[in-house]
Amino acid sequence: MEALESTSPPVLGKVLAKAKIRMDGPIGESPQARSFSPARGVAPDWNDLVARIRRGDASGMEDLYALFSRGVRFYLCRQLGAQELEDKAHDTFVIVVQAIQRGELRDPERLMGFVRTVVRRQVAAYIDRAVQTRREQTDLEYGFGVCDERGDPERDAIAQEQVEIMTWVLRSVSSRDREILTRFYLLGQTQEQICGEMQLSETQFRLLKSRAKTRFGALGRRKLRMRAVPRILLRLACRSAN
């Protein structure tokens, strides 16, 4: 087992970078990570994991990275966007490891909640910094950092297509069903309120929602199949040309 001599950020950075190289690709490629796959509902031995991180054992950090890297990136990306995601995730891991080594995590069983708190604080700090920077730039009235705020074109196209499918679904249902879905998703009314005002049982409400979702899924799949046909034809044409 590789032991760390120091807990300074550059050393941690090296270990985390190494862990990243080993763990990237499908999450949880290491033997340890495989043994506690959350997808299978099996939790790791938190005490052992935290003890290894406290000792400065590199395998502890690798396992921490294997367990949390996708989730941390997912959370950060959801809240802050994809910009500088890797740096932000790396900073978060350094903070978590240092905090554990300083003994700030008293109960190892609370590791998931602890990491969540650190990530949330990181998000808040990034937002604060962004607001501050924007304010300073506005005060100067010149030299704005011009950034392209448009989203990824492919993602935008997919989102647009999903809205079109959903519009079709909503137009195809009765006006009463449409009103129920609009009240719930758009107007922010609760299930209890809608059921009370529209004389619906909880089962009817759930059924309506699930039917809309099924129809949305079926239409989406049909659209994907339709798009796949020209692609198959193109592939066949290329193969015959070769």
Partner 1 sequence: MTLDPHAPEDKLEEYCLGRMPAEEVEEFEAHLLVCPRCQDSLRETEAYVRAMRAAAALVAGEDASRSRWGRRWWVRIGLVALACGVAAALLAWWLGKAH
Residue 76: which of 111, 23, 134, 118 has the closest Cα?
A: 118
> Should residue 218 be labelled a site residue for partner 1 when binding is judged by CB under 8 A?
no
Of the pair 11, 46, the CB lying nearest partner 1 is at 46
Q: 32 to 51, contacts with partner 1 by CB under 8 A?
A: 38-39, 41-43, 45
> Should residue 151 be labelled a site residue for partner 1 when binding is judged by CB under 8 A?
no
User: CA angle at residue 186 from 72 to 183, to 5 degrees?
Assistant: 130
Binder of partner 1 out of 166, 198, 200, 219 (CB under 8 A): 166
**Shortest distance, position 40 Cβ to partner 1, whole Å:** 9
**Shortest distance, position 128 Cβ to partner 1, whole Å:** 20
Of the pair 11, 77, the CB lying nearest partner 1 is at 77
> Should residue 198 be labelled a site residue for partner 1 when binding is judged by CB under 8 A?
no
**Shortest distance, position 201 Cβ to partner 1, whole Å:** 16
118, 95 in Cβ contact below 8 A? yes
Of the pair 4, 100, the CB lying nearest partner 1 is at 100
Report d(CA 177, CA 171) in Å as an integer: 10
Per the structure block, which two tokens stand in for 186? 């758009």
Of the pair 39, 232, the CB lying nearest partner 1 is at 39
62 Cβ neighbours under 8 A, 6+ residues apart:
15, 18, 19, 22, 23, 30, 32, 33
Q: Which long-range contacts (CB under 8 A, 24 or more apart) does 108-115 make?
A: 108/46, 108/47, 108/49, 108/50, 108/51, 109/46, 109/47, 111/46, 111/49, 111/50, 115/68, 115/72
Biggest alpha carbon–alpha carbon distance for the chain: 68
> Should residue 165 be labelled a site residue for partner 1 when binding is judged by CB under 8 A?
yes
Going 50 to 52 to 53 to 55, the CA torsion angle's sign is positive
> Should residue 219 be labelled a site residue for partner 1 when binding is judged by CB under 8 A?
no
> Should residue 112 be labelled a site residue for partner 1 when binding is judged by CB under 8 A?
yes
Size of site (CB under 8 A) for partner 1: 40
> Should residue 182 be labelled a site residue for partner 1 when binding is judged by CB under 8 A?
yes
> Should residue 54 be labelled a site residue for partner 1 when binding is judged by CB under 8 A?
no
Terminal CA-to-CA distance of the chain, rounded, Å?
53
Question: x/- site string to partner 1, residues 71 to 110, per CB under 8 A?
Answer: xx-xx-----------------------------------
CA distances in angstroms from 96 to 84, 148, 163, listed in the order given: 19, 32, 39
Report the interface residues with partner 1, using CB under 8 A: 27, 38-39, 41-43, 45, 67-68, 70-72, 74-75, 112-113, 115-116, 119-120, 159, 162-163, 165-167, 169-171, 175, 178, 181-182, 185-186, 188, 190, 212-213, 216
